[in-house]
Amino acid sequence: MNQRGSIHQYLRQQRDLFGDELYLNKPTTNRPAMIQKDHESLSLESFGESIRECQECPLGKSRTEFVFGVGDPKANLLLVGEAPGEQEDLQGEPFVGRSGKLLDKILKAIGRDRNKDVFIANVIKCRPPSNRDPLPSEVEKCEPYLKKQIGLINPRLIVALGRVAAKTLLKLDVPLKDMRGKIHSYAGTPLRVTYHPAALLRNPGLKQTAWEDFQWIQKYIHGES
């Protein structure tokens, strides 16, 4: 039978089975499989490379350096700040400068450093001009990158550093003291809130409270909280 005959026969069979309605097989898609494969095979480093030239929001034009994050790609502790500042924008690394040095001291006190058992990132990857808070439209564009990082790192705990990071992640507009001391959840991972190191430099009276937070964090990571 030629091709035309085969089509006629197929249509006759379809009419016998289903009447005048014609049912076509929907093409199958392998997209979910592709997503899964992508998730399984993509390393944190190659993900960073893949978004390094991002221009999804206007901050892509004004940045000096894209700031993906730094640390152990399999860390059980993920620290998240709001956005790169001036030094971070120049050096392409989060939490450098005075507040970064203080954060390094705190991490050392709990037996970690920025390359060991910790990953440090920001909610958004490019510096907002004059260190202003990120705009909701910028967060909307950039937050999926953080969620992807969390999926790849799979930390046991996320710690939001400072009120802006915490309120951005938790979508809560309340004072930091009302978010501290509780276990929240972000993207399916427990999240704790503590002070930004810059706040500790401005107000050393907060250091004891922050230290208590980090002691709790250390215990939690070791399954003791």
Out of 85, 118, 138, 180, name the contact with ligand SF4 by CB under 6 A. 138
Select from 224, 77, 96, 92 the least CA-distant residue to 157: 77
Residue number with CB closer to ligand SF4 (99 or 149): 149
| CA-to-CA dists, residue 73 to 5, 48, 69, 78, 121, angstroms | 60, 11, 10, 10, 11
| Burial of 153 from C-beta contacts in 10 A (0-12 / 13-18 / 19+) | buried
Out of 14, 56, 209, 218, name the contact with ligand SF4 by CB under 6 A. 56
CA 159/CA 139 separation, integer angstroms = 18
Out of 13, 36, 46, 55, name the contact with ligand SF4 by CB under 6 A. 55
- Cβ density class 181-206: b for 16+ within 10 Å, e for less: eeebebeebebbbbbbbbbbeeeeeb
User: Does residue 148 belong to the site contacting ligand SF4 (CB under 6 A)?
Assistant: no
Out of 75, 120, 121, 142, name the contact with ligand SF4 by CB under 6 A. 142
- Closest approach, Cβ 181 to ligand SF4, in A, equals 30
Residue number with CB closer to ligand SF4 (141 or 163): 141
User: Does residue 60 belong to the site contacting ligand SF4 (CB under 6 A)?
Assistant: yes
Residues 108-137 that bind ligand SF4 (CB under 6 A): 124-126
Residues 184-203 that bind ligand SF4 (CB under 6 A): none
| CA-to-CA dists, residue 208 to 41, 203, 214, angstroms | 42, 11, 10
Tokens of 33: 């499989």
- Closest approach, Cβ 10 to ligand SF4, in A, equals 50
| CA-to-CA dists, residue 86 to 96, 115, 127, 193, 203, angstroms | 9, 22, 7, 23, 21
- Closest approach, Cβ 7 to ligand SF4, in A, equals 50
Q: By CB under 6 A, which span of 31-39, 49-57, 181-189, 204-212 interacts with ligand SF4? A: 49-57
Out of 59, 157, 165, 191, name the contact with ligand SF4 by CB under 6 A. 59
- Closest approach, Cβ 23 to ligand SF4, in A, equals 43
Binding positions for ligand SF4, rule: CB under 6 A: 54-57, 59-60, 124-126, 138, 141-142
